[in-house]
Copies of this chain bind each other. A is one copy, B any other.
Amino acid sequence: MQIEKSVAIVGSGLVGSLLAIYLRKQGHKVTVFDRRPDVRQVEFSGRSINLAMSNRGWKALREAGIEDEIRKLALPLDKRAMHVEGQPIYYQKYGDDGEAIYSISRGVLNRKMIDLAEAAGTEFRFEEKVWDVDMPNARLYTGESEKSKWKEYQFDLIFGADGAFSRIRHKMQRQSRFNYSQHFIDVGYKELSIPANADGSHKLDRGSFHIWPRGEFMLIAMPNLDGSFTCTLFMPFEGETSFETIKTEKDADLFFETHFSDIKDEISNLKRDFFRNPTSAMVTIKCFPWSYYDKITLVGDSAHAIVPFYGQGMNAGFEDISLLNHKMNLHGDDWEKVFEEYQTERKPNADAIAELSYRNFIEMSSKTADPVFLLRKKIEKKFSEKHPELWTPLYSRVTFSSKTYAEALEIGDYQRGIMDEVMNTPGIEEKWDSEEIENKILSLIKK
């Protein structure tokens, strides 16, 4: 246990709530501010992608003692279900037997996390907007608007868990020598949904992550406990087939009829939802430093927002908290050391998962239709199944391991180098599953 501090967390999202639970366990007084209303009392936004909890996330929940509670909200998905045009559905297992990612609705999870944090003694201050921070003195200023009269709060420590467009980071950014970047991709997303059958059962296999790949755009669907699926359409903002070109309900209807005829009729209120739900942007945010002496630090998206194509955003944020807690146990009340080691150890891993997520976006948008790429994946899969001790696929390193993201990226690059050489073998298309190729990989690994 540390000496009790008065702690503010800005942001009541998933990472902020988890942090509150950890800090309460350490014996601190915790106040969470959020500019939005209590998510337990309002309808969720219609702009969210379902979450895929994987090992890193579960580990952080386990250490906080809330894994079992959250498991009840999650559905295991042990495979992808690929809905390729003109082909029967086929399945790709994610990992070994028993390995799965877990689909959870963001709204359902967030409500539960807030319940748990509140039960642990956290004070939540919803609809209270933080506008400024006095960093050296750990003071927060809240109020109705940026120009209204503000209320001042004095804390010992402040955590910025206020997401990609963090107000706390915004203030830190005004310091000299603060490095920062925000990079938006040209693809947006829109939430849609498939309701349950009348008997409450799922309309598609509930143990799969469903993907309808279509080259420049794709639809995905992830199951919810109530029998529904949350769907997400990813598509360029501008260009030939893009959100920009779908202007009317007739356009939307025609678009789905042309490209998703097998699922179109299952999507509820397609034409209404397409225009009612926003088209959201996706951004990679990097910054450094994350901490200000022993006063302030950033966690989750406010420190490292990433694009969602590896399903690791929440997992990475939860792992931040797990690491912070580890540093608290190690360094007790030396908060400057806690924050310093946290940011120094975590930054390369945040950069690594940002890079991996961005690469997955590029891969999904430009390579899923490329036969050479698919052949490459097939060779890699075959080899790793035969020699699991020699070759753990990158996806498994990221998703089913708790070794660092930076290591996963490094080994992934090393494996990529080997596969580049393998793919240069003359006649690889014919002999891809020959002993020659297997031996080639073995000899390259041993180099």
Contact = CB atoms under 8 A, between A and B. Distances in A.
A380 B168 CA distance: 50
Contact of A179 (B173, B178, B179, B182): B182
A304 to B, nearest CB: 14
A173 B176 CA distance: 18
B181 A182 contact: yes
A184 B176 CA distance: 8
7 contacts: A146-B146, A147-B147, A173-B182, A176-B184, A178-B184, A179-B183, A181-B183
Interface string A146-184: 110000000000000000000000000100111111111
Contact of A184 (B147, B177, B182, B183): B177
A146 B143 CA distance: 15
Contacts of A180: 180-182
A369 B179 CA distance: 29
A445 interface: no
Contacts of A173: 182
How large, as a class, is the contact surface on chain A? 10 to 19
A89 to B, nearest CB: 35
Contacts of A179: 182-184
B182 A281 contact: no
Given A179-B182, A180-B182, A181-B183, 5 more contacts: A176-B184, A177-B237, A179-B184, A180-B180, A180-B181
B176 A281 contact: yes
A282 to B, nearest CB: 10
A136 to B, nearest CB: 19
Contacts of A184: 176-179
A179 B285 CA distance: 10
Interface in A178-230: 178-184
A179 B184 CA distance: 6
Nearest to A287: B182
B178 A181 contact: no
A177 B186 CA distance: 8
A184 B184 CA distance: 21
Contacts of A181: 180-183
A237 B177 CA distance: 10
A344 to B, nearest CB: 14
Contacts of A178: 182, 184
A281 B177 CA distance: 7
Nearest to A185: B177
A303 B38 CA distance: 39
Contacts of A146: 146
Which 8 residue pairs of A and B lie closest in terms of their CB atoms, listed nearest first? A181-B181, A177-B184, A176-B281, A180-B182, A177-B281, A179-B183, A179-B184, A147-B147
A111 B380 CA distance: 66
Interface string A337-358: 0000000000000000000000
A187 B176 CA distance: 13
A420 to B, nearest CB: 21
A161 B178 CA distance: 22
A405 to B, nearest CB: 21
A61 to B, nearest CB: 31
Interface in A120-137: none
Contacts of A176: 184, 281
A176 B184 CA distance: 8
A177 B181 CA distance: 12
A179 B177 CA distance: 19
Nearest to A173: B182
Interface string A262-285: 000000000000000000010000
